[in-house]
Every structure is written in structure tokens, then in C-alpha cells.
Amino acid sequence: MLKKYKRTVIITTLVALLPVVAGLLLWNQLPESIATHFGTNGEPDGWSSRGFAVFGLPAFIAAVNVLCAVATSADPKKQNIQPKIFKLILWICPMVSLICCGGVYAYALGLPVSMEKLCMIFVGVVFIIIGNYLPKCRQSYTVGIKLPWTLASEENWNRTHRMAGGLWMAGGAVLTLMSLLGQISVFIFLPVVLVMTLVPTVYSYLLFRKLGA
């Protein structure tokens, strides 16, 4: 699989590294110490050197992208992973790199950017996209809702993913809408994510008990 998508892996990894180019162009305008971690209130609570922000952060995300590609390609059930879903996996890290690094640069330059809002909108959109693809996922060990009951039964897997798909899209829509309205907070984010996680898990287990397999 990795050989088949070698070109996509290379392109997505290079895209993940694009913030390095932007950082070099902005090098003289960026401060020596840059906020690279933000709390739930959107305020910075962690700083890094300019060198790490420009080189280290994109390099780390690019490395994670390669790791995801290798791990997915090593899946014993990799033949069940559809091309669109594999490409979706490969494009998540580059988008994270562009959005997060772009936000870090903008904040460092004093531009009016809300990292909390930016990240929550991105997370909400990603949840919507993943929710759209969940019903199309086939059994595998790296992609989808990997529970003992879903992996043991194809019917359980399919029914759980059909139910979870709509739930994840709804959860993503709530997070995106609340973020756009400026109402997002940890007290909204955590309950939504917990519902998106626990409901499919409980549903899958109850289905397992009902089906007896």
C-alpha cells in the first residue's frame, strides 16, 4: 500500500513542511520566543524558541504524517482500507501543520487571531468529514471504531459505524457552529466529544450482547 501511495505520502509530507518556508520569510519579524501552546481559554501557556517554532514544529507534524502512513500500510486488514479514506488520513497532518503553524505565526506577529476558535473550527470540520466516511469504513485495525466487538463481527462493525457516522457529523457541526458564534469552551467541547465516543461504544456492546457474537 505504501508504494501505491508513495506520491501522496511525499506530497502531504512536503505540505506539512511548508510552514518552514513561511517561517524563514518571516524570520526577522518573528520574536525570539514564540507562544506554541495555548490553554483552554485561548491564552498562551507555553513558549518555544523561534528556531523550534519554525523548524521543529512542522518537522514533528511531518514525521507524524509519515508514521501514520507506515502504520496504516502495515495493517493486517489493509486491503479493507479504501483509497479515499487512506488519502484522508494522509491529509489530516498537513492541514494541522498549516493551520496550527499559521496561527502560531499570526499570534507571534500580533495579528488578531483566536487560537482557541481556529483550532475548534478545524476540529469540528474534521469530525464532520470523518463522520461522513465512517459508514464507508470496512474492518481494520487502524481506521475506524476498533473495539473487541466491532472487530469480532462484521455486522457489528457496519451497524456501529453507520450510527457513529451521523453522530460524529452532528457533533462536528455543533462544535463548528458554536465556535463561529464564539461560544466554544471546554465545557462544551468535552461533553460533545464524550457523547461521540461513549455512545458508539455502548451501542456496539449492546449490539454484541443482542447478536451474541
What pLDDT, in 10s, does the model give residues 189-211? Answer: 889 999 999 999 999 999 999 88
Higher pLDDT, 40 or 35: 35
Q: What is the DSSP string of 28-93?
A: GGS-SEEEEEE-TTS-EEEEEEHHIIIIIHHHHHHHHHHHHHHHHHT-TTGGGS-HHHHHHHHHHH
d(CA 169, CA 196) in angstroms, rounded, equals 9
Q: Is the pLDDT of residue 69 over 80?
A: yes
Q: pLDDT band at 182, cuts 50/70/90?
A: confident
Angle between helices 83-108 and 18-25 (to 10 degrees): 20
Tens of pLDDT, residues 17-35: 999 999 999 999 999 999 9
Q: What percent of the chain has pLDDT over 90?
A: 63
d(CA 106, CA 88) in angstroms, rounded, equals 27
Range of weakest confidence among 109-113, 147-151, 178-182, 183-187: 183-187
Angle between helices 115-133 and 83-108 (to 10 degrees): 180
Q: Is the pLDDT of residue 163 over 90?
A: yes
Q: Which residues lie closer than 8 Å to 133 by C-beta, 6 or more apart?
A: 84, 85, 88, 165
Q: Is 173 exposed, middle or buried (0-12, 13-18, 19+ CB in 10 A)?
A: middle
pTM for the predicted model, two decimal places: 0.84
Domain ranges for the chain, please list them.
Answer: 1-113, 114-213
Q: Is the pLDDT of residue 168 over 90?
A: yes
Task: State the average pLDDT over residues 39-55.
Answer: 86
d(CA 99, CA 102) in angstroms, rounded, equals 5
Res 213: pLDDT: 52
Task: State the average pLDDT over residues 161-188.
Answer: 89
d(CA 40, CA 43) in angstroms, rounded, equals 7
Task: State the average pLDDT over residues 107-113.
Answer: 90
